[in-house]
Structure 1
Amino acid sequence: MTGLLYAAAFLLELTMLTVLALSGAAVGDGLVVRAAVGIALPVAAAAVWAVWMAPTSTHRLANPGRLVAQVGLFAVTGLLASAVLAPWVGVAFFVPATLVFGELARREKR
């Protein structure tokens, strides 16, 4: 079961980057602005994730701080998607992401 949770977590990380790219591409006027924001948002999220949340990071946060940071990033992604794309997109991303990463954090405590 743990392997399935890790696979789901990885897919949710990729989904977060996709949702941020789509949300960013829907913001602003003009192709250049949309492209820039659509690229900048997932790159920024990936950088934050790589430094403080990635399993191989030398600066990885310990739980529960890491879970708080992850849920914060999921919340920002969900709120942006809800505002720019559709409310159901934000909820459909935020709820499972929070549940999966919450369960992984709970299992890590054991």
Structure 2
Amino acid sequence: MFNTLKIKKQYFILCLGVVFSSCLTNIDEEQEIDPCTTVTFSAEVKPIIDANCVQCHGTGGNFPNLTTYQGVSGNASNVKSQVVSRKMPIGSTLTDAETQAISCWVDAGAINN
């Protein structure tokens, strides 16, 4: 009788170990966060445009005028195309992170956020 009770106890402990270890593997899974979901016009895109584009594409400058949200969003696909191809800004270059931020923002609909 003691052998049967001992075997049942060991089996019960083994089952508990399996249950707990299988739960632990689900807790440690990390989800990748898409960096594009956090890109905003006001925090990321506008500072890039202001620092690199408005010198030439400002009021009274070359077309398009990129000093306002309307000017940037109305030309968003063109802006993306020019920075991704590294044609703009002339005389300097954007970092990969800056190019990615503009691309993400345009791909997300170029919203005023």
Please report the TM-score for the alignment, with normalisation by the length of structure 2: 0.39
**Which structure would you say has the larger Rg?**
2
